[in-house]
A and B are shown apart, each in its own frame.
Chain A
Amino acid sequence: MMGSSFIKTRHLKTRHIALFTAIGTALVVAPLLMPDNYWLRIYGMTGLYVMLALGLNVVAGFTGLLDLAYVAFFGIGAYLFAFLSSNHFGIHLPFLLVLPISALITMGCGFALGASSIRLRGDYLAIVTLAFSQIFKLLLLNLNQPINITGGVNGIYNFDPIDIFGLKIMSPQAYSYLIWCFAMLVIVGSFRFKRSRIGRGWEAIREDELAAEVIGVHTTWMKLMAFAGGAFVAGASGTLFASFQDSVFPNNFDFAQLVVIYCMVILGGLGNITGVVMGAILLSILPEFLREYGAYRMISYGLILILLMAFRPQGILGEVGFFTKPKKRPEKDETGILRASTDLYYPEADLPTWTEGPRYTRGDHPVLEVKNVTMNFGGLRAVNDLSFSLHEREILSIIGPNGSGKTTLFNLISGIYAPSTGHIFFKGKEITGFKPHRIAKAGIARTFQNLRLFNNMSVLDNVKVGQFCRTKSGPLSIHLGSALHKKEERETERVAKEILGLFGTRLAGYRYDQKAMFLSFANRRRLEIARAMSTHAEVLMLDEPSAGMNPQETIEMTDFIKKLRDRYGYTILVIEHKLGVVKTISNRVIVLDYGSKIAEGSYDQVANHKPVIEAYLGRERN
Chain B
Amino acid sequence: MPPLPILLIISCSAAWVVVQLSYNTLPQLLDPIKVAFDRSDEVVTRMYGYELFVFAIVALTAAGPLAVSRGF
Decide whether A and B assemble into one complex: no
Q: List chain A positions with a Cβ less than 8 A from chain B.
A: none
